[in-house]
Amino acid sequence: MHQTEGEIKEIRDETHDVKTFVLTVVNRLDFVPGQYSMVCMKEKEGFQKEWRPFTFVNIPEDEQVELTVKRMGKFTTTMHRLRPGDKLILRGPFGEELNFDETVIDDVVFVAGGSGITPFMSAIRFAVARNMQNDIWLFYSNKTIGDIIFREELDELNQRENIRVLHALTKEIPEDWNGLEGRLNKAAIASSLEEPAAKLWYICGPPPMVHAVREMIGEIGVPDDRIKSEDWQIPGKSE
């Protein structure tokens, strides 16, 4: 585990309550896609000793670090008020369950809910950068179309031969919506991919969603040892 200081160089609005912070760091953190960093706002009074986990959304060889943060509680609300030039302290990397690199030779299914997309964006960007030949499916569930993080980039990725992005909305579904409606179910999986038990599954999102998906894909024959999941129960990920 290492610690470094990062200076905010750019802040991008991803949705109405999600921002991406682009940081230059004093010392690189050698991470694997799927891992996260513990972050502290040392310059903000009342938060100097508080740490929260945020997943790397960039790829390891990038010179800058990118963290995508959903506004959910006091810490993230304060973080959303930061400006370019402000500094953060990063510790890490942490996490092993969702790791993805070139040793993964299986076809992969990512299932994400809301901000649970972040580890999979790093993984998919890594797969593209390394020209990995795995077939990749991403099932991405959100409440509304306005909640979809990285929507434009995901639309572009969906044009690649070996990547398929399937959006699901659970509320406020537009009349012209051509994605999935409601929660992910067996029928949606069956119509979207063949031999689900042969794929390597990654799941990340709110605990109820993660548990429901694990149970569902288990019922269609996916062995437990082919399922990797994280349900944001680390303190701060669901603050």
Domain CATH number, residue 215 = 3.40.50.80
Query: Is residue 6 in some structural domain?
Result: yes
Among 94, 129, 149, the domain-final residue is 94
Domain range enclosing 81: 2-94
For residue 236, the model assigns a pLDDT of: 46
Distance between CA atoms of residues 166 and 225, nearest Å: 24
What ranges in the chain are assigned the alpha helix state H?
74-80, 118-129, 151-157, 186-192, 207-219
Enumerate residue ranges in the chain where pLDDT < 70.
Answer: 1, 232-239
Query: Is residue 239 in some structural domain?
Result: no
pTM greater than 0.75 (yes/no): yes
Among 239, 165, 148, 204, CA closest to 33:
204
Q: Kindly state whether residues 116 and 226 are assigned to the same domain.
A: yes
For residue 48, the model assigns a pLDDT of: 86
Q: Kindly state whether residues 89 and 133 are assigned to the same domain.
A: no
Query: Is residue 81 in some structural domain?
Result: yes
Distance between CA atoms of residues 165 and 163, nearest Å: 7
Helix (H) or strand (E) holding 38: strand 36-40
State pLDDT tens for residues 29-81: 999 999 999 999 988 988 988 999 999 999 999 999 999 999 999 999 999 99
For 78, left (φ over 0), alpha (ψ -120 to 50), or beta? alpha
Q: Kindly state whether residues 7 and 71 are assigned to the same domain.
A: yes
The answer to whether residues 177 and 169 touch, using CB atoms and an 8 Å cutoff, is yes
For residue 235, the model assigns a pLDDT of: 45
For residue 184, the model assigns a pLDDT of: 86
For residue 46, the model assigns a pLDDT of: 86
Beta-carbon contacts of 168 under 8 Å, excluding residues fewer than 6 positions away, are: 139, 140, 141, 142, 179, 180, 181, 182, 183, 184, 188
Domain CATH number, residue 27 = 2.40.30.10
For residue 239, the model assigns a pLDDT of: 45
Distance between CA atoms of residues 178 and 156, nearest Å: 16
Mean pLDDT rounded to a whole number for the chain: 92
Among 61, 94, 127, the domain-final residue is 94
Q: Count structural domains, the chain.
A: 2
Q: Kindly state whether residues 87 and 157 are assigned to the same domain.
A: no
For residue 76, the model assigns a pLDDT of: 96
Query: Is residue 188 in some structural domain?
Result: yes
Q: Kindly state whether residues 87 and 22 are assigned to the same domain.
A: yes
For residue 212, the model assigns a pLDDT of: 92
For residue 172, the model assigns a pLDDT of: 83
